Chain A
Amino acid sequence: MNDETRGGSGTREAAPEELSCEESLALVYEYLDGELPADWSDAVRRHVEKCRLCYPYFDFERMFLDYVHEAGEGAALANPGLERRIRDLIAGEDGS
Chain B
Amino acid sequence: MNESSENGENRRREFESEALPHLDALFGLALRLTGGDEARSEDLVQDSVLKAWRSWDRFEVGTNCRAWLMTILRNTFINQYRRDRSRPAQVEFEEIAEGPGAGTLYDADPEGRVFDRLVNEHVIRAIEELPDEFRVPVVLADIEGLGYQEVADTLGIPVGTVKSRLFRGRRRLQERLHMFAEEMGYLP
Chain A interface residues (CB < 8 Å from chain B): 1, 3, 9-10, 22, 25-26, 28-30, 33-35, 56-57, 59-61, 63-79, 82-83, 85-87, 89-91, 93-94
Contacts and interface: CB of A to CB of B under 8 A. Distances in A.
B12 A82 contact: no
A75 B123 CA distance: 14
Contact of A64 (B11, B29, B174): B174
B186 interface: no
Interface stretch (B57-65, B77-85, B140-148): B140-148
Question: By DSSP majority rule, is chain B's interface helix, strand, loop, or mixed?
Answer: helix
Given A86-B49, A90-B53, A69 B143 contact: yes
Given A82-B45, A82-B46, A86-B50, A35 B170 contact: no
B25 interface: yes
A38 B143 CA distance: 24
Contact of B124 (A35, A65, A71): A71
A56 B170 contact: no
B160 interface: yes
Given A1-B164, A57-B99, A82-B27, A64 B120 contact: no
Interface residues on B, range: 35 or more
A68 B98 contact: no
Nearest to B112: A63
A79 B42 contact: yes
Contacts of A90: 12, 15-16, 49-50, 53
Contact of B24 (A1, A3, A77): A77
B31 interface: yes
B12 A94 contact: yes
A95 to B, nearest CB: 8
A45 B145 CA distance: 22
A91 B49 CA distance: 13
Contacts of A82: 23, 27, 42, 45-46
A85 B23 CA distance: 12
A53 to B, nearest CB: 8
B152 to A, nearest CB: 11
